[in-house]
Amino acid sequence: MNNLLQIISGLSKKISDHTRLSKKATLIFLLLATIIAISTLISELRIQKDNSQPYTISPTPSPTQSKDSYPTPFTNSTVIASDNLTNKYTNSLLGFSFEFPKDVALITEDGIGRPSTFSIFVKVDDLTDPDTSNIKALLQDQEMLSRGDFGIEEDSFYLKSTIKKGSTNVKIFAQLKDEACGSAVLERVAQFYRFDRRITLTLKGPKSALINEHPNFFTKGEGQCEGETLWTEVGIQSFLSSLKAETIAKYVIKWDKTFAQIISTLEITSPTDPDLFKADLKAYRQGENMVIAPIASSKLGEVVEMKLWYGNSEEGSWEPIKTFVTVPTKERVNIRYKDKYGNVSKIYSVTPEIMW
């Protein structure tokens, strides 16, 4: 509704600046402004409705399913069989993918999947959502990692390092304690940021088997942590030394090497989601002038720029997006949109409608 009022007000001002217009021309221009405003409002409501629909994700198959039993592609994520030994996960919206062995279960960002002995979990934290926990710490971590630093550290992080995938820094670590009681966990983790989202890939290993086979590494919790199994400091150091020397149980070595294999296939690219932008373009001509109404939204963030041109070859420069633009009449209008993260839309073209 605000856009409707802005368009009518804007065109009314333009009319008042042209004192030579007849009363009939003035009424025609006001009618044109009203038509454009209503059309723009309808388009915006349609885009808002489209963007309000939940993006569903199909169930992830268990590792025992055959290649032919994989579901149809997810809205933003797909899992396909790369070959007889590996599957490939791709997130087209956030622009990353990785391969993982078929005996590793995948648990998607929506919690879809069935855990197995080895399970890779995908988690996405949205830093633009005010309901996300610890946003201040996440923003600080994002800024530190963007500089090449490891970022915020926890006492439970071991085997820490950073690697670069394309232009994105990725922090790597092993997490051996949970955040509550410091209970024993067996997790290899990779974290990176894309478009104000933190992506976490976690490979969980057979913790119970490790506890049963190496009880000397652990102790029992007390008080509020009664019933929990905790690492001893000597146990952690013995575990890390045995892992480095590969003298520990084969399944633990497999857990570590499988994680390294997965991260070696991690690719971070531009988004490939064909529905990243929901956009429309309206243009109406009346005599020597036409009014253009750009309308666009992005799944990732605010659309902030547009590029207009009128010929067959793309030209022109980026400028802040406007509610409407008045220019001399052209035969055709072309536009691209850009969101706040620099993602660029496809070309939208329209032939201006002749109002009368």
Residue 289's domain is classified under what CATH number?
A: 2.60.40.10
Q: Based on the fold, state whether residues 199 and 335 are members of the same structural domain.
A: no
Per mean pLDDT, which range of 111-115, 325-329, 352-356 is the poorest? 352-356
Per mean pLDDT, which range of 68-72, 120-124, 318-322, 352-356 is the poorest? 68-72
Which segments of 246-356 does DSSP mark as H helices, in order?
250-264
Per mean pLDDT, which range of 39-43, 136-140, 267-271, 286-290 is the poorest? 39-43
**pLDDT tens-digit profile of 146-158?**
999 999 988 789 9
Per mean pLDDT, which range of 75-79, 179-183, 235-239, 322-326 is the poorest? 75-79
- Residue 229 sits at φ, ψ, to 5 deg, of -105, 125
pLDDT at 43: 53
Residue 52 has pLDDT above 60, yes or no: no
Q: Based on the fold, state whether residues 256 and 284 are members of the same structural domain.
A: no
Q: Based on the fold, state whether residues 261 and 159 are members of the same structural domain.
A: yes
Residue 98's domain is classified under what CATH number?
A: 3.40.1000
Mean pLDDT, rounded, of the chain: 81
User: Tokens 């002749």 identify what position?
Assistant: 354
Question: What percent of the chain lies above the pLDDT cut of 90?
Answer: 55
Of 238, 268, 298, the position where a domain reaches its end is 268
Closest CA to 202 of 192, 211, 217: 192
- In this structure, how many other beta carbons lie within 10 angstroms of the beta carbon of residue 135? 16
Band (11; pLDDT cuts 50, 70, 90): very low
In a domain, 217, yes or no: yes
Band (180; pLDDT cuts 50, 70, 90): confident
Q: Based on the fold, state whether residues 256 and 278 are members of the same structural domain.
A: no
Distances, alpha carbon 177 to alpha carbons 180, 183, 230, 352, in Å: 9, 5, 8, 63
Domain encompassing residue 305 = 2-53+273-354
Cβ–Cβ under 8 Å, residues 304 and 230: no
Alpha carbon of residue 341 to chain centroid:
11
In a domain, 59, yes or no: no
In a domain, 247, yes or no: yes
Residue 320 has pLDDT above 80, yes or no: yes
Count of domains in the chain? 2
Q: Based on the fold, state whether residues 92 and 173 are members of the same structural domain.
A: yes
Alpha carbon of residue 208 to chain centroid:
34
Average of pLDDT values for 304-309? 96
Of 213, 239, 268, the position where a domain reaches its end is 268
pLDDT at 68: 33
pLDDT at 59: 35
- In one-letter notation, the amino acid at residue 59 is P
Q: Is 322 left (phi over 0), alpha (psi -120 to 50) or beta?
A: beta
Average of pLDDT values for 196-223? 92
The Cα 46–Cα 42 span in angstroms is 6
DSSP 236-262: HHHHHHHHHHT-S-HHHHHHHHHHHHH
The Cα 291–Cα 286 span in angstroms is 9
**pLDDT tens-digit profile of 161-178?**
999 999 999 999 999 988
Type and span of the H or E element at 23: helix 23-52
Band (189; pLDDT cuts 50, 70, 90): very high
Q: Based on the fold, state whether residues 153 and 249 are members of the same structural domain.
A: yes
Band (49; pLDDT cuts 50, 70, 90): very low
Residue 5 has pLDDT above 60, yes or no: no
pLDDT at 40: 54
| R_g of the chain, CA atoms, integer Å | 28
pLDDT at 30: 53
User: Tokens 């007000």 identify what position?
Assistant: 9
pLDDT at 181: 81
Of 202, 233, 268, the position where a domain reaches its end is 268
